[in-house]
Amino acid sequence: MAHWLYKSEPAAWSWEQQKAAGEKGTEWTGVRNYLARNNMRAMQIGDKGFFYHSNDGLEIVGIVEVCALSHPDSTAKDDARWDCVDIRAVRDMPKPVTLKDVKASEALSKMALVTSMRLSVQPVTDEEWLEVCRMGGLDNPPR
Residue 142's pLDDT is 80
- The per-residue pLDDT for range 82-132, each reduced to its tens digit, is 999 999 999 999 999 999 999 999 999 999 999 998 899 999 999 999 999
Q: Which one, of 118, 86, 107, 122, lies nearest residue 9 by Cα? A: 118
Q: Are 26 and 71 in contact (CB under 8 A)?
A: no
Q: Tell me, rounded to whole angstroms, the distance of Cα 126 from its chain centroid.
A: 14
Looking at residue 1, its pLDDT comes to: 84
Please give the model's pTM, rounded to 2 decimal places.
0.96
